[in-house]
Structure 1
Amino acid sequence: MRILGVSFDNAEANARFAAKQRFRFPLLCDTDKTMSMAYGAAKGRASLFPSRITYIIDAQGKIEWAEQVAGIDAHVEAAVARLIGG
């Protein structure tokens, strides 16, 4: 299992944010919002912030589960609960 985060910010801003939050996973840059739009986390390039959505994607790239969650900590908790609970 791999955990990745995605942000609209550049690499420098992401590095600062990830360090401040003590993330133990990579935070990817989606500055042109292409990935966020493809996964439904941004409505368009004018979006200021992506929706906080957690996805479980299988080895073949199929989305097995997705849920919008309120807080940063809830993302990992929601995914782990889903994986453990089936």
Structure 2
Amino acid sequence: MIRRLRLLALSSHPGPTATVTVLAAGLAVALGYGVGRVLAVALAVLLGQLSIGLSNDWIDAERDRSVARADKPVARGEITVGLVRAAAL
């Protein structure tokens, strides 16, 4: 279970996901939103970015395999396309 979660996290494009989420939260703070609203913005953006990153990995799985992408758990066969697709949706 922990291994699957780690592989899903790696499939989610964690760097860009974190960057966009932090920037969105920062913009919400700059706009003067209260704590609850900042957290809501951050959570909404985080979930959207996770879905985008995971979708990219399952949609591009065959192409990533064909070029032996070492940074993609799906391309390495460590996690199934179906699991990544289910997590994205």
Report TM bin, short chain: under 0.3
Greater RCO, CA 8 A, separation 6+: 2
Larger Rg: 2
- More helix as a share of residues: 2
What TM-score do you get using the length of structure 2 for normalisation?
0.26
- More strand as a share of residues: 1
What TM-score do you get using the length of structure 1 for normalisation?
0.27
